[in-house]
Amino acid sequence: MKGSNTNSGEQKAWGKLTSFTGQLENVNLLNDSYTVGRNSTNTIQIPDIRLSGVHCKIYKDSEDNCWIEDLSSNGTFIENDKIGKGTKKKLVSGDKIYLLHQSKVKYEDILGYVFSSMIEDNNKLKKQREEDQKLLLEEKKQTEKALKFQEDLGEEMRCCICIDYIYKCVTLIPCLHNFCASCFSDWMVKSQMCPQCREEVTDLKKNATVNNIIEKFMENNPSKKRPKEEYEEMDAKDKIKEDRINMKTFLKKPQSQSVGYSAPTGGLFGTPVSNPTSFVASTVARNNSRGRGGRRTNY
């Protein structure tokens, strides 16, 4: 069959005709225009007397759109739709082109091609790559946002007494500032004012929500964790055993009756507290020497 090329040097095909009955040879479409029919003058010659001399024309325009024009009185079909002589129809990948349709001939005599557009496939691939690139950029932006949020959140989750990430959070009422339970256990012995805003504290409560946030933060940032021994010391110094405590009621209790209460000590390592301000200063200095210093409130 004339025109049954499979390769032509370095020239790239813009489409392909694949026989779906096996009676025709596959054709790579390299030229801009092809005619199909019985005559020898056709680019793709099919010597079957049931075909028109020039049966149809397959071509691409200057904008790389692919077309088929019906030039046969017998008819050229796309699927089960007759195009009609002198009429053209845009081709897309997957179209079945019938030169001899099943409504005209026996099943074994059907002649036709499946059209594939390399231009369409390349455009789809290009579009997919562009979409993938946009998706990657968006994912990168979201990741950067998440990291920034996590970093900002981490700074907000610092106790302004020890200048480290809060451990076993307690929230002061009414100001709602948060501190480590062990840090505030030491602080409240000498002062009932919030270390951050100096508002009088009436109650305090454990904050499970903040604890969960910090726990997740520590899972993603294990380098931010304190040494295990320090957590053990903080647990030992934590005098806040109830979920919610009224400050006046709690402080009126004799030390021996306070919930797990013992003589007040300051800092993470049990030094006596003589003054809350000096206690904070010594705690800050210790954390700075460990390289864990962060933002803090001026006292």
Q: State the average pLDDT for the chain.
A: 81
221 or 161, greater pLDDT: 161
Q: Give the residue-averaged pLDDT of 115-137.
A: 79
With a CB cutoff of 8 Å and minimum separation 6, the contacts of 18 are 26, 113, 114, 116
* pLDDT tops 60 at residue 24: yes
The tokens 């049990």 sit on which residue? 270
For 76-97, b/e burial (b = at least 16 CB within 10 A) is bbbeeebbeeeeebebebebeb
With a CB cutoff of 8 Å and minimum separation 6, the contacts of 136 are none
* pLDDT tops 90 at residue 189: no
**What residues are paired with 205 via a beta bridge?**
171, 244
Q: Give the residue-averaged pLDDT of 103-125.
A: 85
pLDDT of residue 121: 67
* pLDDT tops 70 at residue 283: no
Cβ neighbour number for residue 49 with a 10 Å cutoff = 5
Convert 99-135 into a string of H (helix), E (strand) and C (coil). EECCCCCCHHHCEEEEEEEHHHHHHHHHHHHHHHHHH
User: Strand 96-100 relative to strand 111-117: parallel, antiparallel, unpaired?
Assistant: antiparallel
Q: Give the residue-averaged pLDDT of 244-266.
A: 60
* pLDDT tops 50 at residue 265: no
140 or 20, greater pLDDT: 20
pLDDT of residue 296: 41
pLDDT of residue 258: 41
Residue 273 CA to residue 277 CA, distance in Å, equals 9
3-state secondary structure of 10: coil
Q: Give the residue-averaged pLDDT of 131-152.
A: 78
Q: Are 176 and 208 in contact (CB under 8 A)?
A: no
* pLDDT tops 90 at residue 28: yes
Assign 1 a pLDDT band (cuts: 50, 70, 90).
low
Ranking 28-42, 50-64, 145-159, 259-273 by mean pLDDT, the lowest is: 259-273
Cβ neighbour number for residue 50 with a 10 Å cutoff = 14
* pLDDT tops 80 at residue 154: no
Q: Are 220 and 150 in contact (CB under 8 A)?
A: yes
pLDDT of residue 264: 40
Q: Which amino acid is at 123?
A: N
How is 214-254 classified by DSSP, letter by letter?
A: HHHHHHH-GGGPPPHHHHHHHHHH----SSEEEHHHHHHS-
256: DSSP letter = T
pLDDT of residue 261: 36
pLDDT of residue 285: 52
Residue 253 CA to residue 246 CA, distance in Å, equals 11
* pLDDT tops 80 at residue 167: yes
Q: Are 68 and 80 in contact (CB under 8 A)?
A: no
Q: Give, in order, the Cα–Cα distances in Å from 67 to each of 28, 32, 75, 247.
A: 15, 11, 16, 85
Taken in order of first residue, the domains within the chain and their CATH numbers are 15-123 (2.60.200.20), 157-290 (3.30.40.10)
Assign 257 a pLDDT band (cuts: 50, 70, 90).
very low
pLDDT, tens only, 71-113 = 998 899 999 999 999 999 999 999 999 999 988 899 889 999 9
Q: Give the residue-averaged pLDDT of 62-74.
A: 93
* pLDDT tops 60 at residue 298: no
pLDDT of residue 190: 86
pLDDT, tens only, 269-282 = 333 444 444 444 45
* pLDDT tops 60 at residue 50: yes
Residue 230 CA to residue 141 CA, distance in Å, equals 37
pLDDT of residue 92: 92
Element (DSSP H or E) covering residue 257: none
* pLDDT tops 80 at residue 240: yes
The tokens 């025109």 sit on which residue? 3
Cβ neighbour number for residue 176 with a 10 Å cutoff = 12
